[in-house]
Amino acid sequence: MFDYKKIELLIKENKIEKAQKELSNLGNKYYKNDKYLILRSKIFYKNKLYYIAIDTLLIALQFYKHEEIFELLADIYKTIGNEPLSKKMLQKDIRAEVVENLKAQLSNIPKKNV
């Protein structure tokens, strides 16, 4: 297991590049790990890559339903100005349905042919 607390501390201390390097050194064996996904999302959030942070947390929710994931989603949505969605993420009785609706909406966004 990797040192989650060490990387968490680096993020809190705003040593984002160092935290990102620590996560990158882990390789691909943690890509479905809840702690890894949360840390990765926090780094995206700190770098103001809000939608990538949200996507990462939605992936995490496919495997885990931790309170920390919903709280981080709420923080991100509040930061980007979606206060109603932020509040819904904190409501335990409706947030699973809210996440499913959100995933459905996001998957229906037309993609450009590249």
What band does 1 get if pLDDT is binned at 50, 70 and 90?
Answer: low
Give the DSSP per-residue string, the chain. Answer: ---HHHHHHHHHTT-HHHHHHHHHTTGGGGTT-HHHHHHHHHHHHHTT-HHHHHHHHHHHHHH---HHHHHHHHHHHHHTT-HHHHHHHT-TTTHHHHHHHHHHHHHTS-----
4-107 belongs to CATH 1.25.40: yes
What band does 4 get if pLDDT is binned at 50, 70 and 90?
Answer: confident
pTM of the model: 0.87
33 CA to centre of own chain:
12
Give the pLDDT confidence of 21-48 residue by residue, as tens digits: 999 888 788 888 899 999 999 999 999 9
Domain boundaries, the chain: 4-107
pLDDT score, position 106: 76
